[in-house]
Amino acid sequence: MSEIKALDKLRKLANNVRNGSCDTSPAIVAQLIAGNADNIKREIEERYMELPLDADGVPIHMGDVMELSGGRIGKVVAVSESQFTAHVEAREKKPVCQASLHHHVNPRTLEDVLYDFGERVCNSGHQWGLDAADVVPQFADEIRELLGSDVE
């Protein structure tokens, strides 16, 4: 992203005041700061747009994964202030969606996968004294260790 020019000017002014190389009065410095703030606001209004928000009020970015109508999952390929366009696997047409009607899909963690496994396997056989909630963190740590990273 390109830098906001007025922000650079404000940083330069702050450095000059900090280093003592600014010999202007506090009133003049305040006026310069206010002018730079106005310029920053103007640059932002001219160059940037607000991101659309999902049903939970979370900003939607390019590349986010969203749950669409009918339970379909799509990857965001374009955004406007209130909508997004998603790519859905095995579909040629990319739907345009009203952002506030959809939710982000949270990626599954190792704990999610292991908990589902535990629910199906461990909890179906209480005769072994196993409970998925107790063993999932242990197995997740072991898998992370085997992978050699801090996978989420």
- What pLDDT digit, counting tens, does each position of 9-42 carry? 888 888 888 777 777 778 888 888 888 888 888 8
Q: Which of 80, 117, 120, 116 is nearest to 96 (CA)?
A: 80
- Return d(Cα 77, Cα 50) in angstroms, integer: 16
pTM, two decimals, is: 0.55
- Tens of pLDDT, residue by residue over 45-68, are 888 888 999 999 999 999 999 998
Q: Which of 53, 7, 57, 70 is nearest to 33 (CA)?
A: 7
